[in-house]
Amino acid sequence: MSYAESWAGLSKARRIGVGIVFVWFFGGSQLHFFATGFDLSIMPPYVPHPLAAVYLSGAVELIAAIGLLFRPTRRLSGVVLFLLTLAVTPVHVYMLQYPERFPMVPVWALWLRMVIQAMLLACIAAASWPAENRRGIKAG
């Protein structure tokens, strides 16, 4: 299947959704490799091997973001990104619990990040799963 065929039949809204999710995770994955210090600084102390966790989550973001661009891997990539987003939510909760440890981030931005997290989950689902599957109807 060609790249162009991967986009055939997608509604404009779904194309935009795929684009948003791709940019968010592809861009975010780069930060894991080029701004590693920040990601390490926000890691809760109970996470084992924090540097490995930063690099692994960055690699998963990168691969799954690219996978969204192709129909055969779009659903799996969406599931992976959805689960990854849930898995990193404790980092954002930790930042909210101890905002004094992150003076470079305003508290309102920490709360906004939680709202964005929820919106991102909805966008991932809408972009990567066909509507009929989200309603529990098996696609034909």
Q: Identify which has the larger pLDDT, 118 or 10.
A: 118
Please check the confidence at residue 135 and state whether its pLDDT lies above 70. Answer: no
Once rounded to an integer, what is the mean pLDDT over residues 51-56? 97
Give the model's pLDDT for residue 48: 94
Once rounded to an integer, what is the mean pLDDT over residues 114-131? 92
User: Residue by residue, what is the 3-state secondary structure of the chain?
Assistant: CCHHHHHCCCCHHHHHHHHHHHHHHHHHHHHHHHCHHHHHHCCCCCCCCHHHHHHHHHHHHHHHHHHHCCHHHHHHHHHHHHHHHHHHHHHHHHHHHCHHHCCCCCHHHHHHHHHHHHHHHHHHHHHHCCHHHHCCCCCC
pLDDT tens by residue, 8-37: 778 888 999 999 999 999 999 999 999 999
Give the model's pLDDT for residue 133: 56
Give the model's pLDDT for residue 139: 45
pTM of the model: 0.88
The structural domains of the chain, with segments of one domain joined by +, span: 11-128
pLDDT tens by residue, 65-112: 999 999 999 999 999 999 999 999 999 999 999 999 999 999 999 999
Once rounded to an integer, what is the mean pLDDT over residues 121-130? 91
